[in-house]
A = this chain, B = another copy of it.
């Protein structure tokens, strides 16, 4: 495995001390495979290099709940201080992961204040991101969620979408049909300018309410 190249592509790996990096093992797995199961002892901190791994919990009603979708980042960071995981981790696509032994990982945090700070900062950033996501999902209309997303994630009123619209729809808590229709309407009434992956908010001239018959 060519570490340097890998690290260059993964900003999340940059802060990891070389000593710890050397202890990592590389694994590939195919879609549908379990990375670990609920009740397993926590042995590794996993970084998802490519593909997607999901943290899943099963409801007593039989339904499944997706707790995390890790892509290009750590999986189940919160399990660091825990003996066992409460969730299953499943490869949602063919994927590659780096496994850091928790013991070494934990020890490195204690010995390397800079790394520790980076780790805590990463967690804090995740908290902020998740809060924004919660706020967005609390919005009642599709249009509001779209505009909120562009305002939050886009730079200066312009968002360059780095995923399919279908995937975006899932992230917004909408069906893809609802998203397509909403984008079409926002473009039609001039709220949004769309060219390919670039979505730009039009400088608002009139009322803040974009949708509906006002």
Contacts and interface: CB of A to CB of B under 8 A. Distances in A.
Contact of A59 (B133, B148, B173): B148
B208 A62 contact: yes
A117 interface: yes
Most B-side CB within 10 Å, residue of A138, A206, A207: A138
A30 to B, nearest CB: 12
A117 B137 CA distance: 31
Contact of A31 (B128, B134, B213): B213
Chain A interface size, under 10 / 10 to 19 / 20 to 34 / 35 or more: 35 or more
A14 interface: no
Interface stretch (A2-10, A77-85, A94-102): A77-85
Contacts of A119: 120
Interface of A: 31-32, 55-68, 77-78, 80-81, 87, 90, 92, 109-110, 113, 116-117, 119-121, 123-128, 130-135, 137-140, 144, 147-148, 151, 157, 173, 201, 203-209, 211-213
